[in-house]
Structure 1
């Protein structure tokens, strides 16, 4: 009987040890799963952050190209304005010379009439060039926006 009690005690100890090992394995598995989940979340977070940084860089580059296009347009528009002012000053100087050599009031009226008509034509031409330039640059900026990749 003493042998039976020893075997029963040893069996109970073995079962207890087995249960403790199982509990430790389950705990280790749960810890491993939680750590894996945390690593997955951290990895996803890093991936999202990296993607946001990349997209921000792409957006910045696109905005830089559009700004360069618009700056180029502004320079071209300024050059057109300077050219218009130069021609306008030249026409005014020519008109003043013609007025100085006018021989009659009718000559003065004819000179002024031509001057006004020429100025209006030049102004309309200038306006057309400026509008085309503006439309071309807006189209170019839009195309850069559409082709942002």
Structure 2
């Protein structure tokens, strides 16, 4: 994913250097981007995710709170179980996890998931995460 973002930054001619920000799982991608393209990163900001190689990550990966990492990490399983019930699942998921429990409204749904759009959400977390995002 870091390489994909690097290619996008180049295609958009955004820099010789860019400011990189990652939130949640995007924080791991931002970290990988900065590690791989260090000379092209002006600043790096990461929010709401422990970084690989830092103690809390292994503890959190074993927590019930991140069950969805494993659920979405099994290719096609989540999608097969959720198909045609995306709104029910995503409304419950977002509203049970969000600070604002009513944030996932019908209006948000209509603008974020157009009709007949297939769901392809995957979370690429596994037991080898520290190998894929090495400390530098």
> Higher helix proportion, which one?
1
Q: Which of 1 and 2 has greater Rg?
A: 1
With CA pairs under 8 Å and 6+ residues apart, which has the higher RCO, 1 or 2? 1
| TM-score, normalised via structure 2 length | 0.19
